[in-house]
Amino acid sequence: MTYATPYTLDAEKYVPIMQPEFKKNIEQETNGQVEVNLAPGGELGTGTKLAQKVQQGTIESAMVSLSNFSPFASEVDLVNLPYFAGTNQQFVNLATSDIWQNRVEKSVRENGYQVAYYLVVDPRSIATGPDFPPNKTPPLTPQGMSGIKHRIPGSDLLQTAWNLAGANPVPVDWSETPTSLQEGVIDSTHNAHEFHAAYGFEDIVSHEVLINAVVDAQVAAYSRKFYQSLSTDLQKQLDTAAEKTFKQQLDKVAETRQNSYDLLAKEKGVKYHELDEGQVQQWKEAMGYQRSEWEKAKKNLAGSISDFEKFKSATTQESKYTVSELTIPPK
């Protein structure tokens, strides 16, 4: 089977994508009956285009951002509601909960996918580019984002969120983001800082503002058509390999975070900013999931407000899987 990602193998130092590990685990668990051919670096596409190829069965499996996955399985967009599941552990709690498995992954399967595992990187930070207005740098509160051309992926929820924060959200494909920052097409972007270390942003961004509103998470998924074509035994072996990769990934988050911080902060002088309680509260009031503007989205994604509250409760229910949280400097 082919496993495609937008990410290079070199990026594994800074982002725990786990491409070699996933390949190794599948081939070991299946005793070589399933051979994995890696297609890294976006060679078979990126973003929603890559997700669509998996849905159609053109590619057997791929990894994409949850934001780029949402057009094909809208329920996953719940994680893009600001401050709904904004920490690593909250996301892991949610994604491994019964309600997520029974509701969200059921919908994912109906839309042509079979989830392999989720990848947790860290909460997204605001990274400022060369054209970010000096009088607003760094944007520690929503006032600093007023009128800013801010890059977002393909998520309607993130567009709404940044409109609420006063920014001017601009959808830009990930592959075009560094150039867009350099050329002033956008003033800032919102990704886990690990991606900035991995993809050539170290000489472009000057500040990383840790607002901890949305986790930068990915999903590795099979084409449902491919998965169903396998025997029951092979399906179970793929499931075992995926869980093993998920556990390995969670253990690797702290290491790649440290590597990213060392490059960006220590070598390149990028300034990191952790917010105090008052600043976080301003962000929550401006764009948080509790705002009335999100009521329609909550109902559409969760089915009802009462079901949304069940999803929210799942973010705080202890999972058997644990992951380290973002701190600066890393611990």
> pLDDT tens digits for 260-280?
999 999 999 999 999 999 999
CATH number at residue 90: 3.40.190.170
pLDDT bucket at 330, cuts 50 / 70 / 90: confident
Supply the pLDDT for residue 35. Answer: 97
Taking the complete model, does pTM exceed 0.95, yes or no? no
Could you count the other beta carbons within 10 Å of the beta carbon of residue 231? 9
How many Å separate Cα 107 from the centre of its chain? 19
Q: Is 103 within a domain?
A: yes
Q: Token digits for 259?
A: 């590597």
In this structure, is residue 225 part of a structural domain?
yes
* pLDDT per position as a tens digit, 99-156: 999 988 888 899 999 999 999 999 999 999 999 998 888 999 999 999 999 998 767 8
pLDDT-derived band of residue 210, with 50, 70 and 90 as boundaries? very high
Cα separations in angstroms, 13 against 180, 258, 282? 24, 10, 34
Hey, is 301 helix, strand or coil? helix
Nearest to 201 by CA among 144, 127, 251: 127
Per-residue confidence at 258, pLDDT binned at 50, 70, 90? very high
Mean pLDDT score across all residues of the chain: 93
User: Which residue bears the tokens 């709904």?
Assistant: 84
The sign one gets for the Cα dihedral 25, 8, 196, 95 is: negative
Residue 30, pLDDT > 80, answer: yes
Identify the domain containing residue 108 by its residue range.
2-76+86-120+217-253
Q: Is residue 281 part of a domain?
A: no
pLDDT, position 90: 97
| 148, part of any domain | no
Residue 112: inside a domain, yes or no? yes
Total domains in the chain come to 1
63 SS3 class:
strand
| Cα 9 to Cα 20: distance, rounded to the nearest angstrom | 8
Tell me the percentage of the chain whose pLDDT exceeds 90. 82
Helices 19-29 and 232-261 pack at an angle, to 10 degrees, of 160
In tens, the pLDDT along 52-96 reads 999 999 999 999 878 777 777 777 889 999 999 999 999 999 999
Q: Residue 118: which of 234, 230, 253, 226 has the closest Cα? A: 253
C-alpha 271/C-alpha 132 separation (Å) is 14
Q: What is the mean pLDDT of residues 213-236?
A: 96
CA distance 182 to 4: 28
